[in-house]
Homo-oligomer: A and B are copies of this chain.
């Protein structure tokens, strides 16, 4: 699986970049994952891979549990949907699905950290591995 996590907006704060780097390292045994910071929707549309399954993280999206996310990622693997793009930040681009992380508004960096942690958690669930910390 190949994840591209797009953030529309300013560069993230240092401590969130550090957290994301750590999850990127932990995820390297399960998948390819990359954080891509874009300035605006125009740059997003230019960089968004055509063939990817596109998920927008938005507060009004469907609220799912960690187990449901793990099942979703597992289904992508089973159904040969290897390229997933996840977009954080305001945009009206045409996506396949809208998910919500939380009923609270969160900063872009925090949202990115949460989605990296959740993808890592999903792989631990899929592989029936314990999740520490």
**Contact surface of A with B, Cβ cutoff 8 Å:** 9-10, 13-16, 18-19, 22, 63-66, 69, 101-110, 113-114, 117-118, 121, 131, 133
Closest to A118 in B: B104
Is the pair A133, B108 in contact by a Cβ cutoff of 8 Å?
yes
Q: Is the CB of A64 within 8 A of B103?
A: yes
**Contact among B18, B103, B117 for A106, CB-based, below 8 A:** B117
**Closest chain B residue, CB of each to CB of A109:** B133
Closest to A16 in B: B19
Contacts of A114 in B (CB 8 A): 102, 104, 106, 110, 114
Are B113 and A63 touching (Cβ within 8 A)? no
- Of chain B, the residue at the smallest CB distance from A104 is B66
Complex Cα gap A107–B110 (Å)? 13
Contact of A63 with B106 in the complex, beta carbons under 8 Å: no
Q: Could you list 15 further interchain pairs (A-B, Cβ under 8 angstroms) beyond the known A13-B22, A104-B114?
A: A15-B18, A15-B19, A19-B19, A63-B103, A64-B103, A65-B103, A65-B104, A101-B102, A102-B103, A102-B114, A106-B117, A106-B118, A107-B117, A107-B131, A113-B113
On chain B, the residues within 8 Å of A109 by CB distance are 133
Bound-state CA distance A102–B121 (Å) is 15
